[in-house]
Structure 1
Amino acid sequence: MGFVLLLGCGAAAYAYFKLTGNIKSSDLSANGKDGAGHEKPDAFGRTPINILVIGSDTRAKTGDKDLGGAADSTGARADVEMVVHISADRSNATVLSIPRDLNASWSGCHDKDNPSMGPQTNTKINGALNGGPGCSVVAVHQLTGIPIDHFMMVDFEGVVKMSNAVGGVPVCVDNDIYDPYSHLKLKKGDHTLKGDAALEFLRTRHGFGDGSDSRGRTVAQHIFLNSMISTLKSKGTLSSPKKLWDLSNATASALTVDNPLKSPSKLIGLANDLNKVPQSRITWATMQTYDTKVNGVWQTLISKPYAPTLFRTIADDQPLKASAEKKPSATPTVAPASIAVQVQNGTTVHHWAGTIAQDLIDDGFSPQTTSTNGPPGTATTSLNYPAGEQAQAQTVAKSLGLPAKAVRQGTGSRLVLLIGADWTSGKTFPGGKVTAPAANTKDALNGANSKLSKCAKVGTDSQLIGLNAAGQPTSSDHTYGATSPSNAYAISKGVKDSAP
C-alpha cells in the first residue's frame, strides 16, 4: 500500500511539506551494521532502487485493534512484505512478495526505538518486525542478498483509509468465497472493495488458491494492487492535486518510513522515479517456497535453485519482462555478438589494443571488432559511443568492468574504446567490477506465480474449520479440513457480504 501511495504523490509536492509531520520514521537498518547493503551502479552511474513495503498487523492503536481483532494484540508481525525493485534506467519494476511464514535466519537487531532481538535461526521472518521495520530490512537483506534502500510500512487503518480515498478498488473472484478468519465474503464475479472489505481481501489466506501465504494470498494481493494502480491512473488521481491531497492526507498518519525518506524532496523524487515505470512493465512475483516437516513441525522454506536465482536477478537489476515497445530512455542489454568495437591503443604497451580486441571477440563480441593506434600518452581509458548506442556501450562497459565515468557519448559513428595509461595489464579494467553471467530469467520466475489472472482464484479444497448455522467458526483453533470457501459461503446465509 505504501508503494501505491507513493505512485500517487509525485505531482503533489506541496502536500508533503505539510504531511511529513504526520509520517513516522525509523532507522533503515536495525543491527548497528551495514544491514541493508549497497546498490551497484550501472555503466552510466545510475542505480536501481529497492523498497521494502511492509503491511503491519500491529494492534497498537484502537482503530487497528478493531479492524484486526483483539487476538494477538501484543507485538507486531509483517502481515505483508514486498520488495519493490525499480530498475536503474527506470524502464521496469519487479514486486517480490515474501511469504510471512517463511523460516529464515538473521543476525539480530537493536536500535534505540525498538526492542532488541538476538541472532535468529530458522525463525518465521514476519516476527522480525518485533525489532522494528529496520529489523525486517535486515532479515530480508540477509535472506535475499538484495540491497534495501528504503522501507515503507502501513498499518490496518492505512489500508482502509486509502481504499476509501481512491473510491474503491475493482476486483474479481472466480467463485463464491467466505473466509471467517478475515471475514471476507463475496459472491462470484466483479466487486469494488472499499474500507474494511479491502483489508479483508488483502488479509485472506484461507480462501484463495491452496490457502497458503505463498501461493494463494500473495497472488490475490498482486491482483488487488495492480488494480489499484489502474484505478489511480484511470481516475486522474495522479494529475489532480486535490485527489492526491485527499489520498495522502488519508494515509500519512498510518505510514512509517526510513529516516532519509521522510524528507519531502526524497519522497517526491522517489515518486517521480516510480511514475516513470509503465504499468505493463511491472512484474509481480512470489518467492518460491515449499512446506516440509522438520522435527515434526511444518516449516516454509525457500525452493532452490529458483528462489536464489530470482534474488540474484533482482540484485543484478535484470528485467524480468520484455519491453513491448521501443522506449528512448530504456537501455536494454544488447547481445555482444551484434556489437563491434574499435579498440585504440594510447599506451606504450606494444599491440595492447590488439590484445583487448581479441579478448572481446573471444568473449562473444562481433568479429568485426578491430584495433588501431590511438593518441599517444593518453592518461585515462574512455569508451565513446555514437548517438543511439548507449545500450551497446553499457554492454561493453559491463564486460570490461569500466567505471561509469569512462563511458560517454561521442560524435563519431562507432563505438571506440581508447585505452589509457591507467590500464596496461589484465583482461579487464583494473579494479573494475565485471558483471557475472546473467541469471536465467525463466528459472527466476519458475513457480513464482508471475502471470496475473483477471480474477482471484478461490480455493476448492476443504481448508476451513467447521461453521455453525450462523456461518461462524465452531472453534477458535486453526484445524482445517471441514469445508471449502465456496461451501462456507453457501451455509453462512446470516453473514452479510463484504461488498455488493
Structure 2
Amino acid sequence: MKIAAWSVAGLVVVTVGTGGYLYVRYNGNIKSAPLYAGESGDAGHEVPDEFGRTPINVLVIGSDGRDNPEDCEIGGSECGTGANADVQLLLHVSADRSNATVMSIPRDLMTNLPGCVDKEHKTSSKAGRGQINSTLQYGPGCTVAAVHQLTDIPIDHFIKVDFVGVIKMSDAVGGVPVCVSDDVYDPYSHLKLAKGSHTLKGMAALQFVRTRHGFGDGGDLGRAGAQHAFLGSMIRQLKSAGTLTDPGKVLSLADAATKALTVDPGLDGITKLVGLADDLNKVPPARVTFTTMQTDADPKDENRLVAGPDAKKLFTSIKNDQSLSAGQSGAATAPSSPPPVAPSSSAPAAPPADATPRKNIAVVVRNGSGAAHRATALADALKSAGFSRETSTGNNTTAEHTEVRYPAGKEADAKQVAAALGVPESAVQAGTGSAIELVVGADWKQGTSYPAGANGGARPPPPTPQPRSRAPTPSPPTMTGTAPRSATTRPSACPASAA
C-alpha cells in the first residue's frame, strides 16, 4: 500500500499542462487531514544545511480501513469505521537531493504512544504503551505524532493510501514485476505465486504487499523486505517502461493516484504535489536505500516487537541527513557517522574476486543464544565489516549451535558471512526462508568473533526443509503480463540482473 507514494507526484506533474479541467478534476480527487494530531508539540522542524537546503521527510501510511464499499469488499472482513496502519514507511530525501532512504517501521512494534485528538471524528486517545499501527484509528496525524516521538525525526508530510489505491496504481503502471525463489502461499492474504517471475496487477499486487506469512519467518520483517522489493520495482517500472512518456498512461495513473490519497495540507493540491515530484525525480533510483528499523522481540509478548538497542543510531543518521547509499553523503555538512560496534577481532577472510560484493549481501540475525542483545551486536559487526546496511535483526529463537542458513543459490554469500565472523564452514546450512540468516546459538554468548574450537564446528545434520505454512502448495496462479528481464526481489532463483 505504500508503493503509490513514491510515484504519485511524478505522474501528476505531467498532467498539469493538459488544461484547467484536469487541474480542477485532480485537485478535487485529493483528500486531506491535519499533519499532526498529538495533544501537544508538533511534527518537528528540518535544519537547513550551509546552503539553505533542507531534507524532506514523508511518512507513507498504508491503511487497512474498510469504511467504504470498495475497500470493504476487497478487505474481505468486517466493515465499518476505524483503521490500522498496515504499512508505515518513512521516506527521507536528502537536502542536496542526491539520495534517499526508505525506512520501514514494523506494524507490530510496541512503543510509548502520544495522546492524540482526532477533531474530524471527535475522538481522542490517552498517552501510553501500545502497538504503533493502532494510532491510525485517531487519524494519520496521530501516526505522524507517534513516529516523530519514536524517532525524533521531523516529519514534513504524510501520504495515506488505502486498499483500492494499491490496486488502481498497480493497474495504471501496467503491473509491477516481481520474482520469488519458491512457491508462495499465504492463506491470510490469499497470495499464490509459483516460483519465478510475475507481473502483478490488481488484487495480486495488494496481496503481495500485505503478505507476511509467505515470506521470511512469517513476521513483519519478511513483509517489509517484500514491500521494499515491490516499491523498488515500481520505481524502475515508472522510469523505464515508457509510462511517463505515454499520455494515456500518465492520465490514467494521475487519476488513480489522486483518488487513492489522503495527504496533509502541505500536499493537498496539484501544484504542491508537483513540487514534491520535482524533488523526488532528482534522486537516481540507484541512490534509494531501503532499510528496516532494528528491532528485538518484545519480552512481554513473543508475537510483538520493540525497538532494538541500535535503532536510535539509524534514526540519528536519517535525522542528520546521512546517506545510507554506498559512497554518498547527504547534506553538504553531514556530521560524522555514529561510532560502529567494534568488528571481529579476527581478520575476515577475503572473498573470491568474482564473489558478490559484501555491500549487496543482507543478513537477518536471530538470537537463539539466550544472552541479551546478541542479534544487534552481530548485525552491527556485519555492517561494520562491509555487509549490506539492510542487515537487520529478526525474532528471537532457541538454538544450541550457531548456523548460517541460506536460500537456494546463496551458499557462496552465506560462506562469506560465516568467514567474516569466524564461524566454521560446517555451520553453513541450507535453509527454508528467502534470506540469509545468522542464527546465534548457545555456543556463542559473547563477542563478535565466533569462539575458536567451540564444539569443534560440529553440527547435527540439517533438518528436512519444511514448507512455510501448513497450507497445501498451490497450483501456479494465472498472472497478467509477461515476466520482465529486470524482475525484482532478493530470492536467488531470479535472473542474475535482479536487484
Instruction: Please give the TM-score of this superposition, normalised by the length of structure 1.
Output: 0.68
C-alpha distance after superposition, 1:40-90 (max 9, x if no partner): 110111000000000000011111111111247541000001000000000
Instruction: Verify: 1:6 aligned to 2:9, yes or no.
Output: yes
- Equivalent of residue 223 in structure 2, options 206, 217, 224: 217
Distance 1:10 1:441, change over 3 A: farther
User: Which residue is equivalent to 2:296?
Assistant: 290
C-alpha separation in 2, matches of 1:252 and 1:299: 34
1:20 alignment partner, SS class: helix
User: Which residue is equivalent to 1:340?
Assistant: none
- Equivalent of residue 450 in structure 1, options 376, 381, 390: 390
- Equivalent of residue 312 in structure 1, options 294, 316, 321: 316
Instruction: Verify: 1:236 aligned to 2:135, yes or no.
Output: no
C-alpha separation in 2, matches of 1:460 and 1:47: 44
User: Which residue is equivalent to 1:327?
Assistant: none
Q: Which runs of 5 or more structure 2 residues have no equivalent in the other structure?
A: 342-379, 393-405, 411-430, 434-465, 482-499
Q: Any conservation in 2 of the 1:49–1:88 contact (CA below 8 Å)?
A: yes
User: Which residue is equivalent to 2:46?
Assistant: 39
**AA of the residue aligned to 1:301:** V
How big is the shift at 1:104?
Answer: 1.4
**AA of the residue aligned to 2:171:** N
C-alpha separation in 2, matches of 1:51 and 1:227: 20
- Equivalent of residue 301 in structure 1, options 291, 306, 331: 306
How big is the shift at 1:34?
Answer: 3.3
Q: Which runs of 5 or more structure 1 residues have no equivalent in the other structure?
A: 325-331, 334-390, 399-434, 462-482
C-alpha separation in 2, matches of 1:178 and 1:456: 21
1:10 alignment partner, SS class: helix
2:153 alignment partner, SS class: coil
C-alpha separation in 1, matches of 2:306 and 2:147: 14
C-alpha distance after superposition, 1:231-257 (max 9, x if no partner): 111122233443221101123222100
Instruction: Verify: 1:113 aligned to 2:85, yes or no.
Output: no
How big is the shift at 1:151?
Answer: 0.3
Distance 1:455 1:161, change over 3 A: farther
1:129 alignment partner, SS class: helix
How big is the shift at 1:201?
Answer: 0.4
Q: Any conservation in 1 of the 2:190–2:207 contact (CA below 8 Å)?
A: yes
- Equivalent of residue 141 in structure 1, options 148, 170, 180: 148
What's the RMSD between the two structures over aligned residues? 3.2
C-alpha separation in 2, matches of 1:2 and 1:203: 16
How big is the shift at 1:165?
Answer: 0.7
Instruction: Verify: 1:96 aligned to 2:103, yes or no.
Output: yes
Give the paired residue count.
370
- Equivalent of residue 263 in structure 1, options 269, 283, 289: 269
C-alpha separation in 1, matches of 2:409 and 2:266: 37
Distance 1:140 1:114, change over 3 A: farther
User: Which residue is equivalent to 1:422?
Assistant: none
How big is the shift at 1:450?
Answer: 2.2
**AA of the residue aligned to 2:224:** T
Instruction: Verify: 1:163 aligned to 2:170, yes or no.
Output: yes
C-alpha separation in 1, matches of 2:87 and 2:197: 24
Distance 1:456 1:254, change over 3 A: farther
How big is the shift at 1:287?
Answer: 1.0
C-alpha separation in 1, matches of 2:151 and 2:408: 30
Percent identity over the alignment? 51
2:235 alignment partner, SS class: helix
Write out aligned runs for 1:449-488 (5 A): 450=390, 460=432, 484-485=467-468, 488=471
Q: Any conservation in 1 of the 2:179–2:196 contact (CA below 8 Å)?
A: yes
Q: Any conservation in 2 of the 1:281–1:323 contact (CA below 8 Å)?
A: no
